[in-house]
Amino acid sequence: MELLHQAEEIINQRYRILRKLGQGGVGITYAAVDLESGKEVALKVLSLRRMSDWKKMELFEREAQILSQLNHPAIPRYLDYFQVDTNSDRSFYIAQQLAPGNSLATLVENGWLPDEEEVRQIAIQILEILIYLHSLTPPVIHRDIKPQNIIFTSDSKRLFLVDFGAVADTYHNTVTGGSTVIGTFGYMAPEQFRGQAFPSTDLYGLGTTLLFLLTGKSPSDLPQRKLKIDFRSDVNISKDFANWLEQMLEPVTADRFPSAEVALATLLGQIAFIPRRPKKSHLISIATENYLIVEIPPGCFYNNYSFPFLFFYLVVYGILGLISWIIFFDYNISSLFWLILFSLSPGIIILIIFITPQIIIVFTPQTLLLPVKLFKLLFYKPLSPIITLFLNSVSSTLLQIDQDYISLERWLLDCCIQRIKISKSDIISVGFKGMMHYKFSNILILYSLKSSEIEENKRFRFGAFLTQQEKEWLVWEIRNHL
């Protein structure tokens, strides 16, 4: 793109061009002097005659509109928007405060190679800017985080984020369903190739920018493995920082940090790393910002420990049943029914002990609940670990969280044997309940139940046969949605 203006040229009788700062997909940016204030400004110009795509005009106008609404010390202040008409052309201009310093791209090209701590501090500053942008209503997504758009002042170590020409707000992105591919190759998140952008899209751009600072190479020049940048052999950084950077660079949006706040808190060590869902998992889940649905199938269908548990249960009680048949029923074929019933009785008893109180509590007046509570205390509590293991083996669990409630259901042979609906405000804690061995620890949801004037703490245990990684991921997801 040839220059639209030369040095010393006066624009709109107010701005005197000094030099070209850069050019991108939308316009050319110049350094200029505001003749009224005497201060240097950045002047971005788009020529209508030289415009090859009307989309550029839309982006230019949107950039001016959004810049006029931003107020952050690390984003150059918006000053003016105007147009200039000539006999052969119409040009549009955005005037902004000029950010002092050089771009990260220029600094690296001149031989600067920052160490891990310097890169970490850059990441912190950019994340703070993204937290501001993404917290706006609607959230503003930059979509073009790259070294050329980050200005660094070497003396004060301050950063400025510039060039909002690719900016999108989530309303425009989700409602209109824009499909235009916008961004810079090598720094674009995979979803941008499909014309999509989310707040985590900017996290990917930041991750690739940090990778450029650490290696001095364009991310597109680094090796890839399964669509993921394989950078570890090209950097000399701590394991924790490498793990953090790897999560920023996940090609699937759901595997990245869910927000800039979480990414920053993790980088600063304020929270632990977010567990990731295992690639091979029997969990069936749907998660959005507003709700979470997770189905856990019966443990006997997927866990190596669950099936031996059931087999051991059947063998032990089958032997006991056989002995009883020999002793008490004189090998009578007609008593085979009693043998089978006796062998299966523990499971039947477990279900009766588990289900009966649930039914009685629903249909029994408050004044008659004492015998039921006594029954649960004498039988249910001591057998609780066995009951939980048995139910996790043979029943599925359905968990649903919306904006107000968490719903928990157990299903056995297409029959719902337990259903609980809890207000989010009644949830006390979500964590693990150890039992026998960590492999069999349950996910435990502790909640308060208010009935008349009585408030009682209740527990719901599930997921005993999930893997450790599945449990950690699911507990984090539940906490996050609560």
Residues marked active site are found at 144
**Alpha carbon of 69 to those of 61, 75, 76, 111, 323: distances in Å?**
13, 11, 12, 37, 82
What is the phi-psi region of residue 436: left when phi exceeds 0, alpha when psi lies from -120 to 50, beta otherwise?
left
Q: Residue 89 and residue 432: Cα distance in Å, rounded?
A: 68
Under a CB-based contact definition with an 8 Å cutoff, are residues 54 and 111 in contact? no
**Alpha carbon of 43 to those of 78, 198, 229: distances in Å?**
10, 29, 36
Instruction: Choose among 56, 55, 5: nearest CA to 27.
Output: 56
What are the structure tokens assigned to 5, written together?
A: 């203006």
Long-range contacts of 94-97, Cβ-Cβ distance < 8 Å, separation of 24 or more? 94/43, 94/44, 94/60, 94/63, 94/64, 94/67, 95/15, 95/32, 95/34, 95/41, 95/42, 95/43, 95/44, 96/41, 96/42, 96/43, 96/44, 96/67, 96/162, 97/41, 97/42
**Alpha carbon of 30 to those of 9, 148, 295, 445: distances in Å?**
11, 15, 57, 59
Q: Residue 476 and residue 432: Cα distance in Å, rounded?
A: 11
DSSP state for residue 237 in the 8-state scheme: -
Q: Residue 202 and residue 189: Cα distance in Å, rounded?
A: 8
DSSP state for residue 198 in the 8-state scheme: -
Under a CB-based contact definition with an 8 Å cutoff, are residues 142 and 272 in contact? no
Under a CB-based contact definition with an 8 Å cutoff, are residues 142 and 133 in contact? yes
Q: Tell me, rounded to whole angstroms, the distance of Cα 395 from its chain centroid.
A: 29
Please report the DSSP string for 331-377 in residue order: T-GGGHHHHHHHHHHHHHHHHHHHHHHHHHHHHS-GGGHHHHHHHII
Output the CA torsion sign for 228, 233, 235, 237: positive
Q: Residue 205 and residue 214: Cα distance in Å, rounded?
A: 14
